[in-house]
Structure 1
Amino acid sequence: MRQHGLVITIGQLARYAGVSTKTIRVYHDKGLLPEPDRDSSGYRRYTAQDAIDLIKIRTLAGAGVPLARIRELRAASDEDFQEAIHQVDAGLTARIQELRETQKRLRRLAAGRLQMLLPEVNSHLDRLPALGFSPRWVALETDLWILVFATHPDTALELFRDQTEALDDPTLRQMYLDYDEAHDLDPYDPRIDDLARRIVQASRERYGSNDLPGQDTDSEIPALIQGAVTASSPAWQRLDALIRERLLR
């Protein structure tokens, strides 16, 4: 039998528990909170115990416990209830840790994308403008190195150092600069064909095969990266196609 004494309306109960009256009605429908009798005026009247029960339900629901599970726990023994609470608490602890790590990454991103990369990568990116590379190229490289280090941490540093060594060679550096400048050329400009020839020749001389570094993998990431590079320029798209075609000869 329900205990009477101090009684409150559904609106008061909702304010005390921090939920809406609609939520209380949902809990009634789901069998989580018994629906009280109505008084002579036709209003539901709730007790202090209803408020306590509702706060427990709200707390469990706020922790992510499904309503069906809450209904089961309402009928569980004290021992089973406490064990379930411990499990929910452990899950929340793990989730909080995940959120904290996500928050750290978000703050690093807000502070500047370069903080997501190794110091030597940052130094490399910082020197590109002085070497003659466009802001577009620097932004592109920044995004690509973030992607490479995130998806291929075991080989990213080797690939990065291979590129920095290439930039130390005046001939190879000029090819990179020409690649940058080719962005705005007509796809069938003769300079595109000449650049493709030079890149293929330099690749064979540098690596001794028809494979570019980072391509000997089953991962889809290299193709994704190349697609990102060429997406903004029809000239780059044709240049990439020519390079691949000639490397297969």
Structure 2
Amino acid sequence: MADGLTIGQAAAFVGVTVKTVRHYHRLGLVAEPERDSSGYRRYRSTDLLRLVQVRTLAGAGVPLAEIGELLDTGPERFAAALDDVRRRLTERIEDLVARRDTLLRLAQGDRALLPDRACAVLDRLADLGFTDDYLATQREALVLTRALVPEVFDSFLSVLEHWIDDPEFVELTKRGWEARFRDPDDPRIEELASAMAERLLANRALLAMPNGFLNRSDTASRYGLVNHHREEQVPAVARLNALIEAKLRAAGVDFPCR
């Protein structure tokens, strides 16, 4: 490389086209080398370094109009600018990874709408023998919670994760689901409500609402849409839920007022 590289060789070395190198020249980002005795412009190491710098910054998303000033600035400002470019690249990478993961979820049903933690809860419910129609209802409840009351979504998952590890509560929940076929005035619904409320109160801390949630003006309507969805289609379940809620309120547990 005693005499330097031709423009074609320089472009190939840097990883761009000859047209791109000439575009950099026109913008003043890279000075054109002097011609040698044969009339060819020869690119030496300093020219190649400048080309690599321009190509790298442009590839990182820095506008061409800003690159010249950036390269000609002092070392401290240049280092700070590079840090900013790295930050923006990291954000782009994270966004692309998120988009890639979303694409993968599109082919996996629940995972297009719910995070892995929620899907794990649904998988656990299936393993515990809950019916498909119960799983569908629970899935819808999770999606509604995430969409309408996202501030309680994590705590809702924590409650579910706790209770599905409690065999007694799992059995009560299955009995509650089976009760949907009963008459709303069936005395067994009252008995079941008492048993479920008692079991829930055994771990009162799990019933606490997030700080500030109860004070919001739209809390009751959003909470009601989630906690009482589809009840009008199943009167027995509506009565069971109302009885449980009344018993918890009587025990001092706060719920959004409907």
Give the TM-score normalised by the residue count of structure 2: 0.50
**Contact 2:180–2:235 (CA under 8 A) maintained in structure 1:** no
Residues 155-184 of structure 1: per-residue CA shift (max 9 Å, x gap) = 313663799648624552125689xxxxxx
Kept in 1: contact 2:14–2:52 (CA 8 A): yes
Partners of 2:56 and 2:99 lie apart in 1 by: 24
2:177 maps to what in 1? 173
Q: Name the CA shift for 1:39/1:115 in 2 (closer, same or farther; >3 Å).
A: same
- 2:62 aligned with 1:65, yes or no? yes
Runs of 5+ in structure 2 lacking a partner? Answer: 183-229, 248-254
Check if 1:15 corresponds to 2:53. no
Q: Do the aligned partners of 2:126 and 2:135 also contact (CA within 8 Å) in 1?
A: yes
Mapping of residues 81-160 of structure 1, within 5 Å: 81-89=78-86, 91=87, 94-95=90-91, 98=94, 102=98, 116-117=116-117, 122-127=123-128, 130-133=129-132, 138=135, 141-142=138-139, 145=142, 148=145, 151=150, 152-157=152-157, 160=160
* Residues 202-223 of structure 1: CA deviation (Å, up to 9, x unaligned): 33222239xxxxx949xxxxxx
CA drift of 1:18 comes to: 0.9
How large is the Cα RMSD of the aligned pairs? 5.0
Deviations 1:51-75 (A, max 9, x none): 2210121222233333222111222
In structure 2, the partner of 1:181 is none
Shift of 1:76: 1.5
Indicate how the Cα distance of structure 1 residues 7 and 99 shifts in structure 2: closer, same or farther if over 3 A, else same.
same
State the secondary structure of the residue aligned to 2:132.
Answer: coil
Match of 2:242 in 1: 204
Contact 1:125 1:138 (C-alpha < 8 Å) held by counterparts: yes
After superposition, the Cα gap between the structure-2 partners of 1:140 and 1:45, relative to the gap in structure 1 and judged at 3 Å, is farther
Q: 1:38–1:146: structure 2 CA closer, same or farther, 3 Å change rule?
A: farther
Q: Which whole-Å CA distance do the structure 2 matches of 1:142 and 1:32 have between them?
A: 56
State whether residues 4 and 43 of structure 2, in contact with CA within 8 Å, keep that contact through their aligned partners in structure 1: yes
Percent sequence identity over aligned pairs: 27
Sort the Cα spacing of 1:144 and 1:54 in 2 relative to 1 into closer, same or farther, 3 A.
Answer: farther
The alpha carbon displacement at 1:39 in A equals 7.6
Distance 1:45 1:172, change over 3 A: same
Which amino acid is the alignment partner of residue 207 of structure 1?
E
Alpha-carbon offset, residue 193 of structure 1: 10
* Whole-Å separation in 1 of the counterparts to 2:161 and 2:236: 21
2:21 to 12, 21, 24: 24
- The number of residues matched between the two structures is 190
Residue number among 77, 80, 94 corresponding to 1:80 in the alignment: 77
The question of whether the paired residues in 1 share the 8 Å contact of 2:54 and 2:67 is answered with yes
Q: 1:15/1:162 Cα in 2 relative to 1: closer, same or farther (>3 Å)?
A: closer
The residue type paired with residue 25 of structure 2 is: H
Query: Which residue is 2:43 aligned to?
Result: 47
Distance 1:175 1:29, change over 3 A: farther
2-side partners of 1:132 and 1:87: how far apart?
52
In the superposition, the TM-score normalised over structure 1's length comes to 0.52
- Please say which of residues 194-203 and 161-170 is displaced more in the overlay: 161-170
